Amino acid sequence: MKVSPDLTNDSRAKRRVSILGATGSIGCNTLDLVRNQSDLFTIEALTGNKNVDLLISQAKEFNPKLAVIGDDALFGELKDGLSGTDIAAASGQTALLEAADVDSDIVIAGIVGVAGLAPTLKAAQRGAIVALANKECLVCAGDFFLDEIERSGATLLPIDSEHNAIFQVFDFEQSENVDHLTLTASGGPFRNASLTEMSAVTPEQAVAHPNWDMGAKISVDSATMMNKGLELIEAFYLFPVEEKQIEILIHPQSVIHSMVSYKDGSVLAQLGTPDMRTPISYALAWPDRMETPGRQLDLAQIGKLTFEAPDLERFPALTLARDTLKAGGSLPTILNAANEVAVRCFLEERIGFLDITRVTADVLDRTPNSEPNTLDEICHCDEAARVLAEEMVSALI
Ligand code: NAD
Ligand code: MG
């Protein structure tokens, strides 16, 4: 592997930033950092999907060259909203790729789900610094994505908090001396809930994460713990370790964001308040650091950090993801696609909370493993798994 630790850019110049998924939680946090340090950054391109009002107001504030809305039906509104400015407006899939292709130093990959794969790949292919929040694109197309990063000479910086933590303390010069990685997990809102209680939870309860304020999909993934399963696969691709060297540990306070254990017995961790602006800032300022408006960590006030092993019976998504990673081939793509469909159906109140992992497991059971090598083949596996997941959902209703 895997994460490239070198950066050729002149870190003294104003860094040019593009944000894919500007209207989401990662996007808004990034813009908050840029707003606070506008002498360090310019914004070159912004994209959203449906929240056209927010995209217009962001574009007017940050003055990018291009603003793109994913949903074609909203193009007229975007164009009208930006009339009288120099900002080009566009919509649709091709325009999202154009936004990723706008000349900028760093691209924040903050689109949720596999919808982010093609635009993030585009940014990678032109050799940008890719600050990756969109874990689904690594889960779905890990080897292919990393090959493209390597081929183009792009720099990949993880901003998922756990992976950013590991990146900060991983010694790439002597990875053979790493014993294992520990991904910490808050345990989500149902850490102590019984299966009976979980069977009745509503979307509103599932998106109410105890520590982090995030988009709906990742919040539900945190509640099922599929998020940690996806992060296990993400860590496997980002760092030069094997699957069996990646552990998952429940740490309800979300203060230790992850750890690297070395063979000499040393454990290096990164700590901080649960605030995504810290890992995002680490990528924005890389290889320097920058000030963020977040609170400093106050351990005396927190008093106690606790840990427990994850309960694999109540959170079967963890085993599902690990088995999928072990088997490899197309299974991670299928896992991700089926989970995306199941989470959407849960948010639409078509299936129950426990059905999310059930549907995902059923789709995996019914799909033979294969070895997709091209983007087309990966997209084909993704599509087929989505169709099957919809069928499984219909069968449940
Ligand atoms: P979000 O739902 O708040 O925002 C998603 C963004 O993607 C929005 O701008 C939305 O307009 C855009 N989008 C959605 N569907 C799209 C489509 N089909 N085409 C184009 N754009 C589309 O999500 P988020 O919480 O910001 O998460 C974004 C990504 O970052 C996810 O992959 C998530 O796993 C990862 N992540 C998020 C956090 C967090 O704190 N929010 C932490 C770690 C990792
Ligand atoms: Mg995370």
Closest Cα partner for 347 from 197, 134, 204, 225?
A: 204
Check residues 4 and 203 and name the one with the higher pLDDT: 203
Tokens of 48: 């959203």
Q: How far is 286 from 91, CA to CA, in rounded Å? A: 31
Is 137 within 8 Å of 120 (Cβ atoms)? yes
- Closest ligand 1 atom number to CA of residue 213: 40
**Ligand 1 within 6 A of 132 CB?**
no
Q: How far is 161 from 328, CA to CA, in rounded Å? A: 25
Residue 155 has pLDDT above 90, yes or no: yes
Residue 84 has pLDDT above 80, yes or no: yes
Reported as a pLDDT band with limits 50, 70 and 90, residue 397 is: confident
Is 248 within 8 Å of 331 (Cβ atoms)? no
Residue 8 has pLDDT above 80, yes or no: no
15-159 has CATH 3.30.43.10 classification: no
Ligand 1 pocket mutation, candidates 214, 230, 273, 280, criterion most atoms within 8 A of CB = 214
Q: How do 256-262 and 178-185 pair as beta strands?
A: antiparallel
| Mean pLDDT value across residues 258-262 | 98
Dist. CA 110 → ligand 1 center (Å): 5
**Ligand 1 within 6 A of 112 CB?**
yes
Reported as a pLDDT band with limits 50, 70 and 90, residue 1 is: very low
Q: How far is 55 from 285, CA to CA, in rounded Å? A: 24
Provide the pLDDT for residue 2. 46
**Ligand 1 within 6 A of 135 CB?**
yes
The length of the chain is: 397
List where CATH 1.10.1740.10 sits in the chain: 164-273+294-396
Provide the pLDDT for residue 12. 52
Burial of residue 163 (CB within 10 Å: 0-12, 13-18, 19+) is buried
Ligand 1 pocket mutation, candidates 54, 71, 111, 222, criterion most atoms within 8 A of CB = 111
Residue 296 has pLDDT above 70, yes or no: yes
Is 350 within 8 Å of 392 (Cβ atoms)? no
Our measurement of the distance from residue 163's CA atom to the centroid of its chain's CA atoms, rounded to an integer in Å, reads: 10
**Ligand 1 within 6 A of 276 CB?**
yes
| Mean pLDDT value across residues 114-123 | 97
Rg of the chain in Å (alpha carbons): 20
Exposure letters 180-214 (e unless 16+ CB within 10 A, then b): bbbbbbbbbbbbebeeeebeebebeebbebebbeb
| Mean pLDDT value across residues 254-258 | 98
Provide the pLDDT for residue 3. 47
**Ligand 1 within 6 A of 136 CB?**
yes
**Ligand 1 within 6 A of 27 CB?**
yes
Nearest ligand, CA 340: 1
| Mean pLDDT value across residues 1-8 | 44
Dist. CA 140 → ligand 2 center (Å): 17
Dist. CA 48 → ligand 1 center (Å): 10
Ligand 1 pocket mutation, candidates 25, 57, 96, criterion most atoms within 8 A of CB = 25
Model pLDDT for residues 326-366, shown as the tens digit of each residue: 999 999 999 999 999 999 999 999 999 999 999 999 999 99
3-state secondary structure the chain: CCCCCCCCCCCCCCEEEEEECCCCHHHHHHHHHHHHCCCCEEEEEEEECCCHHHHHHHHHHHCCCEEEECCHHHHHHHHHHCCCCCCEEEECHHHHHHHHHCCCCEEEECCCCHHHHHHHHHHHHCCCEEEECCHHHHHHHHHHHHHHHHHHCCEEEECCHHHHHHHHHCCHHHHHHEEEEEEEECCCCCCCCCHHHHHCCCHHHHCCCCCCCCCHHHHHHHHHCHHHHHHHHHHHHHCCCCHHHEEEEECCCCCEEEEEEECCCCEEEEECCCCCHHHHHHHHHCCCCCCCCCCCCCHHHHCCCCCECCCCCCCCHHHHHHHHHHHCCCHHHHHHHHHHHHHHHHHCCCCCHHHHHHHHHHHHHHCCCCCCCCHHHHHHHHHHHHHHHHHHHHHHC
List where CATH 3.40.50.720 sits in the chain: 15-159
Dist. CA 210 → ligand 2 center (Å): 14
Tokens of 160: 């998922």
Percentage of the chain lying above the pLDDT 70 cut: 97
Looking at CATH, the fold of the domain delimited by 164-273+294-396 is given as Rna Polymerase Sigma Factor; Chain: A (1.10.1740)
Dist. CA 234 → ligand 2 center (Å): 10
Model pLDDT for residues 42-55, shown as the tens digit of each residue: 999 999 999 999 99
